[in-house]
Amino acid sequence: MTNGATVTATEIARIAGVGPAAVSNWRRRYAEFPTPVGGTAASPQFSLPEVVDWLEAHGRPVHLSPVDEVWRAMNALRDPGRPGGILAAVGFRLLGEEPPRHSGRTEADASGLPMDLGVHVDALGDRLGAAEAFEALLSRWTEAHARQVEVTPAPVASLMCALSGSVDGTAPDSVLDPACGAGGLLLQAAENGAVSLLGQEVQPDLAEVADVRLRLHGHHDVTVATGDSLLENAHDAARVRSVVCNLPFGQRDWGRSKLGYDTRWTYGLPPKGEPELAWVQHALAHLDDGGSAVFLMPAAAAARPSGRRIRAELVRRGALRAVVALPSGSASTHSLGTHLWIARPSNEPSSPDVLFVDAEPLVEAAPENRAAGTDWKAVHTAVTEAWRRFRTGAELDPAVSSAVPVIELLDQEVDITPARHVRTDPGETFDPAQLEEDRTRWRRTLAGLTDVLPTVREVPAADPQVLVSLEDLTRSGALRMWRGSSAREAPDGVEARVPLLGLVDGQSRTPPSRCTYATETERIREGDVLVFAGSPQGARPADPQEYGAAAGQSITVLRPERDLLDSWFLAGALTGGPGVGRSGSSTGTTGRPSRLDPGRVFLPVREPAEQQRIGRAFRDIARLDELLDEAAEHGRRVARRLVDALAAGLADPIDDDRRG
């Protein structure tokens, strides 16, 4: 083990197989617990050897795999200016090559890895195989740099590469990824059968990582260049059969002022706020006749007014062939949704239709299975089958796909959002009995609204109320608080996995969509209060569907002592009132809440009986909010079915006295 390796408190919890709260308790209870050797007060770093020695001395199990040991040693050598440098150096070591020398490489890593780390890397390669060892270390690296590096999830990469093939499933022989990152899409394309692989990446270290990764997997016809593909196109003369790309989302300055007269803008000069349309045209310029391109796009690019003219040209000239809406959460850094665009050169015979596929219903159809995550096998099959049927002229499944004539898309908006164009045929689904049932349920929900809102009376003016901070409540034992963490692997020999409640799950009140390993003490249970993204205004008691789950990143769990603190009183007091939970969260550089600061969040002091009485009122108000949402949802459903039935000629309105 490298003596300079360090770990965070969260990583100590992972090594020891406990929750983060346990590590905090150890630091408070044991004076001999290792002191921080670096980091910050909010995120201290501890010496890994010292931590392991302490755990073993106190009879705590240590779950430190060979991958953990190498990763910690690598992390000790990290260079903030070149976060991927050490990973690339490890890749060259596994490949049996010396790292290339260039101006960005420091003297330490230009000459290879430290001897002790090199020995550990060699041993890991012998144990797992060079390619698998690198993949394991790459996984740890991407987890540690999740905010700086976008990685295309494996199921999405598999789907994109499958869509880039021919009708009979033959993979293209040459593939380009102009923003290749760590090379995930190129690796998937190679495993599908591509031979010639071209990539470009703006970060030199990641370009090296991608190149080494592909060669470790046995793919040697690889050229990964460094630089910005839009401004410094290293493959300017290359023409390929396929382009696959997870586009850089939301670039503020993609070089428009320098590229105003570029020959790639055959569909129009992209506006400053539409960098994705610049990347699309860049990719199309590299396609050979008969080639195709598949892009992972932000959903907003399908409808932004500023991109309307270029979208219209792509549609009118037959370049845009299909748009696929992926299930929510398919790309972790893009919470607003993602689409796949499939395009081809416009010099080929144009198609009279554009295919739209909406994969979201494949998830919504079975909400009870969301805890296991998206069924990517079903999504992959449905999308690829729709694409095959569209290209062969076969009948489509109207539940998830639709072929829309080009002329119908060329309106004032040119909105190519799949949900707008994929509808189930109302003639197959209209059910008068179901409509009447929905109408009755809607009326019943409306009637219930009047009975829920609590009645209150004015309280005479009194002395300023006494407040107590969450920090003081925690110290007194009336409240326990811990922050959630990202998904963790199970320690060796342990197969227990539990649902993981993510931030999006909690805010949308949907069941946990992922799994993790966690001890029993970390599970959410009845009476816990959840705070999301450090914002007290969104605090609420846990829902029954969340019981037994572990809390994910950006979720704070408050567990009140029931005899001392009422859950509904706690949640309600956090969400409103001047000085009570309104400004108690710390903010990051973006100005958005990041974590709950218990020393700056205050509650009014109330007797337990009074807390329960006020808590019941808070619960009634929360129920009113739920009923309002239900009433709106049921009303929209009734309205939508009526519109579909009337438009299809399946129903006829009955004149009555209500119309003026």
In whole angstroms, give the CA distance from residue 136 to residue 216: 13
Helices 48-57 and 9-16 cross at an angle (nearest 10°) of 40
Query: What DSSP element (H or E) covers 533?
Result: none
Contact, 501 vs 544, CB < 8 A? no
Which residue type is seen at 34? P
pLDDT of residue 103: 44
| Position 176 confidence tier, pLDDT thresholds 50, 70, 90 | very high
Q: Contact 161/183 with Cβ under 8 angstroms?
A: no
Q: Averaged over 241-251, what is the pLDDT?
A: 88
Encoding tokens for residue 81? 């200016």
The residue that leads in pLDDT, 600 or 250, is 600
Where residue 656 falls among pLDDT bands split at 50, 70, 90? low
Exposed / middle / buried, residue 401 (Cβ in 10 Å: 0-12, 13-18, 19+): buried
Q: Which of 72, 83, 64 is nearest to 6 (CA)?
A: 72
pLDDT above 90: residue 511: no
Q: Which two tokens stand for residue 175?
A: 């593939």
pLDDT in tens, 77-119: 777 777 788 899 999 999 888 887 654 444 444 446 788 888 8
Predicted confidence at residue 615, as pLDDT, reads: 87
d(CA 296, CA 332): 13
Residue 448 CA to residue 329 CA, distance in Å, equals 34
Angle between helix 115-128 and 66-76 (nearest 10): 150
Phi first, then psi, for residue 655 (nearest 5°) are -70, 135
**Residue 428, Cβ neighbours under 10 Å: how many?**
8
Q: How far is CA 230 from CA 236, 257, 282, 626, in A?
A: 10, 12, 7, 48
3-state secondary structure of 424: coil
The whole-number pLDDT of residue 333 equals: 54
> Which of 43-57, 79-93, 204-218 tops mean pLDDT?
204-218
**Please, which residues bridge with residue 297 across strands?**
339
Q: Is 187 exposed, middle or buried (0-12, 13-18, 19+ CB in 10 A)?
A: buried
Q: What is the pLDDT of residue 99?
A: 81
pLDDT of residue 294: 97
* 259-312 per-position pLDDT tens digit: 988 999 999 999 988 999 999 999 999 999 889 999 999 988 999 999 999 999
The model carries a pTM of 0.62
Q: What is the mean pLDDT of residues 254-263?
A: 89
Beta strands 467-469 and 529-532 are: unpaired
Return the pLDDT at 491.
57
User: For residue 648, what are its two tokens?
Assistant: 């299809």
Is the pLDDT at 6 greater than 50, yes or no?
A: yes
* Residue 189 DSSP code: H
Highest mean pLDDT among 147-151, 242-246, 467-471, 588-592: 242-246
Residue 317 scores a pLDDT above 70 = yes
| pLDDT, tens digit (0-9, with 9 covering 90-100), for 369-382 | 443 457 888 899 99
| pLDDT for 563 | 87
User: What's the rounded mean pLDDT across residues 324-335?
Assistant: 73
Is residue 172 helix, strand or coil? coil
Lowest-confidence region among 87-96, 322-331, 504-513, 550-559: 504-513
Predicted local confidence at residue 595, as pLDDT: 67
pLDDT at 430: 61
Residue 23 structure tokens: 């590590």
Whether 310 and 131 have beta carbons less than 8 Å apart is answered as no
pLDDT, residue 385, reads 94
Binning pLDDT at 50, 70 and 90, where does residue 148 land? low
**19-23, 56-60, 257-261, 382-386: the lowest-pLDDT one:** 19-23
Structure confidence at residue 423 (pLDDT): 67
Q: pLDDT tens across 552-595, in order?
A: 878 899 999 988 999 999 998 888 754 444 444 444 433 444 56
* 605 Cβ contact partners less than 8 Å away, ≥ 6 residues apart: 465, 466, 467, 468
